[in-house]
Amino acid sequence: MELEEIKDLVKLRLSEKRFNHSECVMERCIEIAKKFNQDIEIAAKVGIAHDIAKEMTNEEKLEYVKENHIEIDEVERENPTLLHAKIGEDIAIKELGFTKEMGQAIRAHTTGITNMTLLDKILFIADRTSKERGFPDIEYVNNLLEESIDKAVLYIIDKKITLQIERRAAMHPDSIIARNYLLKNGNI
């Protein structure tokens, strides 16, 4: 499916604010993809679509995973908002013509995942450092990106984990798994 068509479908499901976030993530994905000589079109598509399921209610999310036989874990059951990643992957593959690889980037965008692909990493970083967020360490992240993308991913995972600790909130195991993988195998 063409980018413009995807944009229109995403827009139908999101508030103006969230759609604006999605557009900013798309721009940031393009920026990072260029830096690493990746396909701009693919990066743009995952960027615009990554939060397509974000504004479903918790009930709708739980219903969706049940109806579509998507396996969920305990942390997701307690925090259904996390499910927007897995549901977004499913919708993008079924309704937007995404490949498995593009779907995986959406699945991994909130928590991270073991052995992330370059596309997974681009979206993961873009979602946290898009323009409208006013991320305070943007220059620091950009400097890390000059050194290696893994350093930037690790930095963002650490930030997310720290935030969860401060909030005394549950941590998704995939974040720990992603972090352990990077520490052992990443270019950090």
**Rounded distance between C-alpha atoms, residue 90 and residue 68, angstroms:** 9
Least distance in Å: CB of 71 to Fe ion? Answer: 19
Q: Does 76 bind Fe ion (CB under 5 A)?
A: no
Q: Does 89 bind Fe ion (CB under 5 A)?
A: no
138 Cα distance to chain centroid: 17
Q: Which of residues 33-72 bind Fe ion (CB under 5 A)?
A: 51
**Rounded distance between C-alpha atoms, residue 24 and residue 9, angstroms:** 17
Cβ proximity to Fe ion: between 47 and 186 the closer is 47
Least distance in Å: CB of 183 to Fe ion? Answer: 24
Least distance in Å: CB of 82 to Fe ion? Answer: 9
List 23, 89, 90, 127, residue binding Fe ion (CB under 5 A): 127
Token match 């940031």: residue?
A: 28
- Binding segment for Fe ion (CB under 5 A), chosen from 39-47, 122-130, 131-139, 171-179, is 122-130
| The length of the chain, given as a count of residues | 188
Cβ proximity to Fe ion: between 23 and 127 the closer is 127
Helices (H), the chain: 3-13, 16-35, 40-49, 58-67, 74-78, 84-95, 100-107, 118-129, 138-147, 149-166, 173-185
**Which residues in this chain contact Fe ion in the complex, by CB under 5 A?**
51, 127
